[in-house]
Chain A
């Protein structure tokens, strides 16, 4: 039973971490241009120099 005292806070903490990460990414505009993000990986950066 003492295992619970560790495991439950760990489980909740990890969940909260994920939630915080999600909130951060929304606020940071990571979801503003989902299609564009998929395209940008194809851009050859060296061309722009």
Chain B
């Protein structure tokens, strides 16, 4: 078996990435890797467990759906991932980690040399140690300091300042003066201080980058690239799979029941009903016949249809929403993170303090050399070491805690913004509700009926079957053994149990309350009609109450009709606005923002995308559309809505700890700065104070470890 694959491996084989969210254990890794390698057309499979991904190198003739089917054969659901910029971002964290390693190495060795200087080395030995320190420190500053120099230069060129400006000035000035001291056989060199400073600051930066990467991996593993293409019927009767970007107007797509459309089009053959909830938020399916216009992103529910493509890519209805989203995102980019806000006051204060002490000492008659030494001591003492760690340390600890609770945080600023919200707006379909039809009256079915239902729904791909199957599986029902299963598109699924024909399909008579329903027919028995409806997420009411207790009032923004929103609004005691277009939701948020509110948007659909991007902070469930997940700041897993309240509580706790950390850092400065100004700070005191304050800040941040679980 291995021989042919070796031959193939000589040429460069195409590879494809898949997200496999269901892998949980070592057994899954083994099953995927060895199982896939045995399938024809696949040369090699490699699992990345941390990112929940599989990279498959395959023969060129394998198509995406074939590969997905191959993974399904091994027993896993896979979602193809497009080649995104994730790799580049990873390198960002990696570059910081390398700089951190260099700074750490330099810090340890310079500290080794410095300890001997502090413990009394004099004369030639001290000079030798200073020279050695300089030789280690200079390349380190040049390499590890680049991150700060570049960002500071960028800010200065645009005429404003950030955290990196005082850092860069402090680092350069201190290194230059220490070098001068070394040349002139001076007693004090601050190489250890400089490198230690870089080490602590890089730790903060690296933590920040790691947090962003981890969340992004988590989110991209969830991103469902539904309808990344379509089966296209060619003139000669052949059909092939064409990816979404290859679709052209005029092509005819074959869309099976349960598939999402990859492009806008006109239905040419067949009739079915379409679920538009992703696009409009409306729950009731719309029936379509030949000539109906259908949009990309909607779901075909009943029967296979032929659709002639009219618009693709940038021309589709989805692309309009994407444009709205882009505009809305721009307003959010104006948000200034808390650390940078602090730096706005901090940097000028520090610089004037250092300049004042230099001028002051000059005025009382000290030499310029002495004055400069004191000025540098002030700079190094006030360098925002603890400030640089205060925010990222707290945020990464809380993000880890939230991740364990099933909430993914996109980045640190999301937590800061989330802590500030005072008004929550919920989408209905898929957010307050589960967004999938669930059976209402299964408890009236007999055990035998349940067993048959489970067996039939397992064999069906229809969306209504999905809800019934799930409920029965949770109940622990055992499936009956069925034979001769066949699914008739648009009609139902037929099989035999103990020789008796059974079927599950469309009810024969119209159901009184105009809901979704499915009818189980067993030969010789009365038909059993399963009613299905979209149900509230578990703990939706508890979540709204919890938000109210946090001082956040909630309301509903729905694209659905008033009749279907009203019962939900009533049961949750929320006010609601209905029949809203994406633009209307955007306007509603803009109105509240103008009134001084900070709006939290919770939504899932494509139609919520712009609103999610416009909200001061936004949360989406993991069942949300790609657009929704991309636009949201936080994504929560599972059905329950309670993570919304949990996340806000955790974010507020984080802000409290961050403020405490700032107070600690400032308190430390108030103690140490007078020492520095009076000229009594030696490199030893600076090193002790710097590492001490950083450790205190990190220890304080660690208190957030259980922020997502404790009430």
Residue numbers in A under 8 Å from B105 (CB-CB) = 15-16, 18-19
With known contacts A8-B132, A11-B109, A15-B109, A36–B49 Cβ distance under 8 A: yes
| Residue from the set A8, A26, A39, A41 with the largest chain B CB neighbour count within 10 Å | A39
With known contacts A11-B109, A19-B105, A39–B25 Cβ distance under 8 A: yes
Q: How far is the CA of A42 from the CA of B27 in the complex (A)?
A: 8
Question: How far apart are A31's CB and chain B's nearest CB, in angstroms?
Answer: 8
Q: Do A39 and B49 touch across chains, with their CB atoms under 8 A apart?
A: yes
Does residue B481 face the partner (Cβ distance < 8 Å to A)?
no
Which chain A residue has the least Cβ–Cβ distance from B132? Answer: A8
Residue numbers in A under 8 Å from B30 (CB-CB) = 43-44, 47-48
Q: Do B34 and A23 touch across chains, with their CB atoms under 8 A apart?
A: no
Which chain B residue has the least Cβ–Cβ distance from A47? Answer: B30
Q: How far is the CA of A34 from the CA of B50 in the complex (A)?
A: 7
Q: How far is the CA of A12 from the CA of B132 in the complex (A)?
A: 10
The stretch that binds A, out of B94-102, B509-517, B521-529, B674-682, is B94-102
0/1 interface trace, chain B 24-43, chain A, CB 8 Å (1 if under): 01110110011000000000
Given A23, A36, A41, A42, which contacts B48 in the complex, CB threshold below 8 Å? Answer: A36
Q: How far is the CA of A22 from the CA of B99 in the complex (A)?
A: 12
Which chain B residue has the least Cβ–Cβ distance from A12? Answer: B109
Q: Do B125 and A36 touch across chains, with their CB atoms under 8 A apart?
A: no
Question: How far apart are A4's CB and chain B's nearest CB, in angstroms?
Answer: 8
Residue numbers in A under 8 Å from B109 (CB-CB) = 11-12, 15
Which secondary structure dominates chain B's binding surface?
helix
With known contacts A11-B112, A35-B49, A19–B34 Cβ distance under 8 A: no
With known contacts A11-B109, A11-B112, A47-B34, A33–B51 Cβ distance under 8 A: yes
Does residue B142 face the partner (Cβ distance < 8 Å to A)?
no
Residue numbers in A under 8 Å from B695 (CB-CB) = none
Q: Do B34 and A48 touch across chains, with their CB atoms under 8 A apart?
A: yes
Q: Do B26 and A32 touch across chains, with their CB atoms under 8 A apart?
A: no
Q: How far is the CA of A47 from the CA of B105 in the complex (A)?
A: 43
Q: How far is the CA of A26 from the CA of B100 in the complex (A)?
A: 13
Q: How far is the CA of A16 from the CA of B50 in the complex (A)?
A: 30
0/1 interface trace, chain A 9-30, chain B, CB 8 Å (1 if under): 0011001101100110010000
Q: How far is the CA of A21 from the CA of B48 in the complex (A)?
A: 23
Does residue B108 face the partner (Cβ distance < 8 Å to A)?
yes
Does residue B47 face the partner (Cβ distance < 8 Å to A)?
yes
0/1 interface trace, chain B 103-137, chain A, CB 8 Å (1 if under): 00100110011000000000001001000100010
Question: How far apart are A45's CB and chain B's nearest CB, in angstroms?
Answer: 9
Q: Do B29 and A43 touch across chains, with their CB atoms under 8 A apart?
A: yes
Q: Do B48 and A40 touch across chains, with their CB atoms under 8 A apart?
A: no
Which chain B residue has the least Cβ–Cβ distance from A43? Answer: B30
Q: How far is the CA of A23 from the CA of B97 in the complex (A)?
A: 9
Q: How far is the CA of A35 from the CA of B26 in the complex (A)?
A: 10
Q: Do B50 and A36 touch across chains, with their CB atoms under 8 A apart?
A: yes
Q: Do A22 and B101 touch across chains, with their CB atoms under 8 A apart?
A: yes
Q: How far is the CA of A23 from the CA of B113 in the complex (A)?
A: 24
Residue numbers in A under 8 Å from B34 (CB-CB) = 47-48
Q: How far is the CA of A12 from the CA of B105 in the complex (A)?
A: 9
Q: How far is the CA of A36 from the CA of B53 in the complex (A)?
A: 11
Question: How far apart are B131's CB and chain A's nearest CB, in angstroms?
Answer: 11
Question: How far apart are A39's CB and chain B's nearest CB, in angstroms?
Answer: 4
Q: Do B132 and A26 touch across chains, with their CB atoms under 8 A apart?
A: no
Residue numbers in B under 8 Å from A33 (CB-CB) = 47-51
Residue numbers in A under 8 Å from B25 (CB-CB) = 39
Residue numbers in B under 8 Å from A8 (CB-CB) = 113, 132
Q: How far is the CA of A15 from the CA of B132 in the complex (A)?
A: 14
Q: How far is the CA of A34 from the CA of B29 in the complex (A)?
A: 14
Residue numbers in B under 8 Å from A48 (CB-CB) = 30, 33-34
Q: How far is the CA of A34 from the CA of B276 in the complex (A)?
A: 41
Q: Do A32 and B50 touch across chains, with their CB atoms under 8 A apart?
A: yes
Q: How far is the CA of A1 from the CA of B97 in the complex (A)?
A: 37
Q: Do B101 and A36 touch across chains, with their CB atoms under 8 A apart?
A: no
Given A11, A26, A32, which contacts B98 in the complex, CB threshold below 8 Å? Answer: A26
Residue numbers in B under 8 Å from A43 (CB-CB) = 26-27, 29-30
| Residue from the set A4, A19, A36, A43 with the largest chain B CB neighbour count within 10 Å | A36
Q: How far is the CA of A39 from the CA of B113 in the complex (A)?
A: 42
Q: How far is the CA of A5 from the CA of B47 in the complex (A)?
A: 49
Q: How far is the CA of A35 from the CA of B25 in the complex (A)?
A: 10
Question: How far apart are B189's CB and chain A's nearest CB, in angstroms?
Answer: 16
Question: How far apart are A6's CB and chain B's nearest CB, in angstroms?
Answer: 14
Question: How far apart are B399's CB and chain A's nearest CB, in angstroms?
Answer: 16
Q: How far is the CA of A11 from the CA of B129 in the complex (A)?
A: 13
Q: Do B98 and A40 touch across chains, with their CB atoms under 8 A apart?
A: no
**4 nearest interchain CB pairs?**
A36-B49, A48-B34, A42-B26, A39-B26
> Which residues of A are in contact with B by a Cβ distance under 8 Å?
1, 4, 8, 11-12, 15-16, 18-19, 22-23, 26, 32-36, 39-44, 47-48
**Further contacts, 12 of them, CB under 8 A, given A33-B49, A43-B30:** A4-B128, A15-B108, A26-B94, A26-B98, A32-B50, A35-B49, A36-B48, A39-B49, A43-B26, A47-B30, A48-B30, A48-B33
Ordered by A's residue number, 24 sampled pairs between the chains whose C-beta atoms are within 8 Å are: A1-B125, A4-B128, A8-B113, A8-B132, A11-B112, A12-B136, A15-B108, A15-B109, A18-B105, A19-B101, A19-B102, A33-B48, A33-B49, A33-B50, A35-B50, A36-B48, A40-B29, A41-B26, A42-B26, A43-B30, A47-B30, A47-B34, A48-B30, A48-B34
